Amino acid sequence: MVTPSDLSKYERFLKYLDRDILAHYRAKCDQYRIIEHDLGGEVMPASIEETGEAIGTRPWFRVRFGYRRLKGGSVCIAAFLPDLETVPHREAQRWEASKLDSPDFEEDDPRFLAWVEASFEAHPAEPGPRVKLPREIELVSALTEVGLGVPLWSKSTHPLMNFPIAENTEAYSRAHLELYRVLIDSMSKDALEQLAARRDIRLSDPSRTMNSLKQVLPAELHGTVHAPLKRHYEQRQAVHGVSSKPPQPLDAFDNFSADLEDLCKAIRVLRCWLEDLLGLEASACKDRVNTMKHRFPKIEVPAPAHHFPLGSPDDAVGKTIERVEFGAVMPHPDLHLSDAMILHFTDGSAMAVRVSTNVDNLRLDFEGFDPNEVHTTLEVVWAPSGRRE
């Protein structure tokens, strides 16, 4: 456990800077990425896939940083000095210009101590609301995708969803704006309509997602789920139009952190309610969605009937499997080596799944070719049902 007295041995690895250094990279969000978590983050150029640039067009670098509290309440960043020594000269000048001279730090700073412990002593930190909120959104979206056929949110995060860049009302509002794009703009009207149908509720205006959410929730969840989302909604709406007064000083970092905590709790309560309503388990639904998305084969179009001259897989729909045979097929000198699966159903029928190939064509074209040199296999991948045990 790192204590304030332990910090002196790590100071030689750190340089302290104003948080406004991050504004440069946020403004060029097409070229750079800022990845933030609850304790700090890192800055790096965007990937080649994101920018479309050729390799070598811009030098790659990464600067890791933590948040450290100054006396008076504001927050600066503690950049990892070895990382700064690798940035291009022009970038290094920017970081140097934001350096804080003789900063006066708050003595009680558990967030910074946790970052030091995670960064220098390899002790994983407990995730906070900045990390937990996207995870909860993913869980709810997977839950509703499995249970309703539509995810409640189409996104769980995006590159500009970060902490306020400065301690004022404008920076606070901008941070809420980027969060709004996820929590409100990506909320699905279709999913809310499906929820309303499940609860036999008629929505007054399906186009108004926040109002629809309140209508589908039971009254006892209005305070714990809808109210925090509504406060966030109103923060965003306050940005519309011309402000009647200039930006004001505000502890934006701390206020936004508290907002994230409230929103994270709200989505967690929503998840638990949806699990009960749909009879599903959110983490199993997430596993199912991820497995089917990344590991299941992508079937472009259904196979035509002539692909199955001896019987169609459709004939298995509705049957109950009694037992399964699965293993290597007995070898034959004129056939490839392969696995096969036989499903035996309770009505006495059975269906074999085996691998077919055009290896015979190769045998004709290449003298001395042995079909047994070709091996195929059946890969079995399961996606869980999502239902509670």
Summarised one tens digit per residue, pLDDT across range 92-110 is 999 999 999 999 999 999 9
Same domain membership, residue 265 and residue 150: yes
Same structural domain, 288 and 139: yes
Dihedral sign from CA coordinates of 96, 97, 99, 102: positive
Q: Determine, yes or no, domain membership for 151.
A: yes
Domain count along the chain: 3
Whether the Cβ atoms of residue 150 and residue 144 lie closer than 8 Å to each other: yes
147 and 272 both lie in a single domain:
yes
Q: Which H or E run includes 160?
A: none
Give the residue-averaged pLDDT of 260-280: 97
The last residue of a domain, from among 87, 120, 153: 120
> 283 and 134, same structural domain?
yes
Q: Provide the pLDDT confidence category of residue 279 given band limits of 50, 70 and 90.
A: very high
Domain check: are 91 and 139 in the same one?
A: no
The two three-digit tokens of residue 333, written as one number: 């000198």
Per-residue pLDDT reduced to its tens digit, 174-200: 999 999 999 999 999 999 999 999 999
Q: Are residues 143 and 176 in the same domain?
A: yes
User: Which of 77, 99, 120 marks a domain boundary?
Assistant: 120
Do 182 and 331 belong to one domain?
Answer: no
Residues 6+ apart with CB under 8 A from 205: 211, 212
Q: 140 and 287: one domain?
A: yes
Q: Which of 232, 104, 103 is nearest to 172 (CA)?
A: 232
Domain of 78?
Answer: 4-120
What is the C-alpha separation between 184 and 206, in angstroms, rounded?
A: 14
Token pair belonging to 274: 């949806």
Residue 349 has pLDDT above 70, yes or no: yes
Q: Is the pLDDT of residue 163 over 60?
A: yes
Query: Does 254 share its domain with 347?
Result: no
CA distance 123 to 44: 24
Chain centroid to Cα 188, Å, comes to 17
| Amino acid residing at 273 | W
Q: How far, in Å, CA of 209 to CA of 223, rounded?
A: 17
Q: Are 232 and 136 contained in the same domain?
A: yes
